[in-house]
Structure 1
Amino acid sequence: MLDENELDADERARRRELEEELLALRDAANGNHAAAQSAGPVSEELRRLHSGPLYFADGRPVTIVCARLPRDMREGMPYTDPREPDYTEAYTLADLDTLLELQGHIRAANPLSKVAIRADDALVADDLTTHLVLLGGVDWNFLTRNLLDKLDVPVAQVTRIGDETGAAFEVQEGGETLTLAPRLVGTELVEDVAHFYRAANPYNRLRTVTIFNGMFGRGTYGAVRSLTDERFRDRNGGYLATRFAGRDTFSILTSVQIVRGEVLTPDWTVPETRLHEWPGPGE
Structure 2
Amino acid sequence: MTGGGPSAALAERLRRLRLSEWSSPVKQQQLARALGVSVPLISSWERTTDPRTPPSERLAAYARFFATQRSLDGGKPGLRTDLSPEEETRRRQLEDELLTLRDAAGALPGPRLPDRLANLPPRAGPWYFADGAPVTIVCGELPAEHRADPAYTDPDSPDYVALYNYADLDSLVELHGHVRAANPQSDVWFMPASLVTSDHLTTHLVLLGGVDFNDLTTAVLDSLGVPVRQQTRLTGDPDDEGELGFEVREGAGQSFRPVLHEENGGRILVEDVAHLCRGQNPYNALRTVTVCNGMFGRGVYGAVRTLTDKRFRDRNANHMWSRVPDAQTFSILFRVRMVMGEVVTPDWTRPENVLHEWSA
1:18 counterpart (93, 96, 101): 93
Q: How many angstroms apart in 1 are the aligned matches of 2:147 and 2:214?
A: 16
Aligned length: 275
**Structure 2 counterparts to residues 109-188 of structure 1, below 5 A:** 109-161=182-234, 162-163=236-237, 164-174=241-251, 176-186=252-262, 187-188=267-268
Using CA pairs below 8 Å that are at least 6 residues apart, which structure has the higher relative contact order? 1
User: For 2:105, which of 33, 45, 55 is the aligned residue?
Assistant: 33
1: distance between equivalents of 2:133 and 2:353?
A: 33
Distance in 2 (alpha carbons) for counterparts of 1:113 and 1:155: 31
Of the two, which has the highest radius of gyration?
A: 2
Contact 2:135–2:187 under 8 Å retained in 1: yes
1:45/1:34 CA distance change after superposition, 3 Å = farther
Within 1, Cα distance between the matches of 2:345 and 2:308? 9
The structure with more helix, counted as a fraction of residues:
2
Could you list the runs of 5+ residues in structure 2 that have no partner in the other structure? 1-67, 71-79
Say which of 61, 67, 70 aligns to 2:140: 67
Which of structure 1's runs of 4+ aligned residues deviate more than 6 A?
A: 42-46
Q: TM-score, normalised by structure 1?
A: 0.87
Letter in 1 for 2:249: Q
Q: 2:164 aligns with which of 71, 74, 91?
A: 91
Gaps of 5+ in 1: none
Q: Distance in 1 between matches of 2:87 and 2:299?
A: 28
Higher strand proportion (structure 1 or 2): 1
Amino acid at match of 1:202: P
**AA partner of residue 325 (structure 2):** A
Contact 1:20 1:44 in 2 (8 A): no
CA distance in 1 between counterparts of 2:86 and 2:348 reads 16
For residue 13 of structure 1, report the CA deviation from its aligned partner.
5.8
Contact 2:273 2:294 in 1 (8 A): yes
Partner secondary structure for residue 117 of structure 1 = strand
Matched, 1:212 2:292: yes
State the superposition RMSD in angstroms: 2.7
Single out whichever of 45-54 and 89-98 deviates more from structure 2. 45-54
The one-letter code sitting in structure 1 at the alignment partner of 2:154 is D
For the Cα contact (< 8 Å) 1:191–1:255, is it kept in 2? yes
Q: Which residue of 319, 329, 337 maps to 1:249?
A: 329
Question: 2:310 — aligned with what?
Answer: 230
TM-score (norm 2): 0.69
- Choose 142-151 or 132-141, whichever is displaced more: 142-151
Change (3 A) 1:5 1:105: closer
Residue 204 to residue 229, structure 1, CA distance change in 2 (3 Å): same
Q: Deviations over 1:190-218 (max 9, x none)?
A: 01000000011111111111000000000
Distance of 2:108 and 2:146 partners within structure 1: 54
